[in-house]
């Protein structure tokens, strides 16, 4: 009897470890499929609307995918245009970097007693040790770009397949559950689709609003290429918590390199604070809403786990995937404690909350 309990405990511990190992090893396979599944649910209302207006199913799917491709191409072209504009001022930027570097050397020599000659010698030793790393970094960037383009093509192929065969996929999921639970399975699938559509649609709208607010704020503050940094800060919002800090840090760094003074730094920080206030108290409740309904503790744990398993793509996918998982747990009695752990109380549940005993 004791050995059976030990085997059960070992199985409970081994299953999560095995699942994580499969997810880590299968990253090239799972990541494009997850992105494609989420984007397919986002584009599904567009394809359905076109079909209701007499468009053939395949044509409606291709047209909805074309809209997505055009939106992505527009963002890439705008960023490329802004980057080329920054490159045109590379000479001035290089002079400013050299001036800042000289100021830093003087500060180190004054405060820490390390002469400029000693600093130069230390820098040469560092460069000689890292000369081989530069080539490996360039090779990694090229291979990473090729992998990104391949995955992007796979994502679009999967989007078409998921949307075209969505009826068969839904039928497959329903057939996996007992007949007595098939009605609940249909409701679960519908709720997952609605939540993901509202979340992704609201997120896209919020990012567009962030572009406008950051663009206005950075322009008033006097940031050079303000639109580029506004687009960057808005796009990085897809990585919760980390993205907005990273975008603002990059903007501050570039402002310092370009010779920005104290007023410019204060302007960037004030813009960031105002945008975060408006985003947290107005945009997220009104535009994105609490559709995913994941509490902050589960959100942070999910982001850390997503980064550990799949890196940056895992952080981007963590919130919508956890939202889907919570809905599934809500409809499976054995998994409802996990849904309670991940979720947060809604306002409409306040009456029920008052009738329950207070938590310990």
Q: What is the pLDDT of residue 333?
A: 84
Closest CA to 216 of 162, 169, 172, 270: 270
Q: Which residues of 156-169 are buried (b: 16+ CB within 10 A; e: fewer)?
A: bebbbebbbebeeb
DSSP class of 106: H
> How far apart are alpha carbons 102 and 305 in whole angstroms?
42
Residue 10 has pLDDT above 80, yes or no: no
pLDDT bin (cut points 50, 70, 90) of residue 168 is very high
- The proportion of the chain whose per-residue pLDDT surpasses 70, expressed as a percent, equals 74
Least confident range of 125-139, 179-193, 211-225:
125-139
> How far apart are alpha carbons 350 and 360 in whole angstroms?
18
Contact 291, 202 (CB under 8 A): yes
Contact 336, 329 (CB under 8 A): yes
- Determine the average pLDDT of the residues in 240-244: 76
Question: Residues 128-150: pLDDT tens digits?
Answer: 544 444 445 455 555 556 677 88
> How far apart are alpha carbons 169 and 296 in whole angstroms?
32
Contact 322, 342 (CB under 8 A): yes
Give the mean pLDDT of the chain: 79
Q: What is the pLDDT of residue 359?
A: 43
Residues 6+ away with beta carbon under 8 Å from 262: none
Residues 6+ away with beta carbon under 8 Å from 310: 23, 24, 27, 30, 31, 317
> How far apart are alpha carbons 324 and 60 in whole angstroms?
26
Q: What is the pLDDT of residue 159?
A: 94
Higher per-residue confidence, 223 vs 355: 223
The whole model's pTM is what? 0.76
């Amino acid at each position: 009897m004791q050995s059976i309990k030990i085997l059960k405990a070992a199985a409970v511990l081994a299953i999560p470890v095995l699942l994580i190992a499969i997810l880590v090893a299968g990253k090239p396979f799972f990541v494009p499929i997850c992105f494609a599944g989420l984007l397919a649910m986002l584009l599904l209302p567009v394809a359905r609307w076109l079909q209701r207006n007499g468009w053939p199913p395949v044509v409606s799917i291709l047209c909805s995918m074309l809209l997505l491709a055009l939106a992505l191409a527009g963002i890439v072209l705008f960023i490329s245009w802004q980057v080329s504009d920054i490159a045109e001022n590379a000479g001035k930027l290089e002079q400013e970097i050299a001036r800042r570097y000289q100021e830093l050397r003087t500060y180190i020599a004054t405060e820490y007693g390390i002469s400029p000659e000693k600093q130069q010698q230390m820098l040469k030793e560092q460069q000689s040790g890292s000369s081989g790393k530069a080539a490996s970094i360039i090779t990694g960037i090229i291979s990473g770009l090729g992998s990104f383009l391949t995955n992007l093509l796979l994502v679009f192929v999967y989007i078409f397949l998921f949307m075209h065969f969505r009826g068969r996929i839904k039928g497959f999921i329903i057939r996996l559950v007992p007949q007595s639970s098939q009605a609940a399975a249909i409701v679960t699938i519908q709720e997952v689709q609605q939540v993901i559509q509202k979340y992704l649609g609201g997120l896209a709208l919020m990012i567009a609003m962030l572009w406008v607010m950051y663009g206005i704020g950075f322009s008033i503050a006097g940031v050079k290429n303000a639109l580029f940094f506004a687009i960057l800060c808005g796009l990085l919002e897809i990585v919760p918590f980390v993205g907005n800090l990273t975008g603002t840090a990059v903007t501050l760094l570039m402002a310092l390199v370009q010779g920005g003074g104290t007023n410019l730094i204060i302007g960037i920080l004030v813009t960031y604070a105002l945008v975060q206030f408006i985003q947290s108290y107005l945009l997220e409740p009104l535009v994105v809403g609490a559709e995913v309904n994941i509490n902050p503790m589960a959100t942070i744990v999910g982001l850390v786990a997503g980064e550990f398993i799949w890196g940056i793509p895992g952080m981007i996918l963590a919130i919508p995937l956890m939202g889907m998982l919570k809905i599934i747990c809500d409809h499976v009695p054995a998994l409802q404690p996990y849904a309670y752990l991940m979720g947060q109380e809604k306002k409409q549940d306040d009456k029920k909350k008052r009738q329950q005993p207070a938590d310990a």
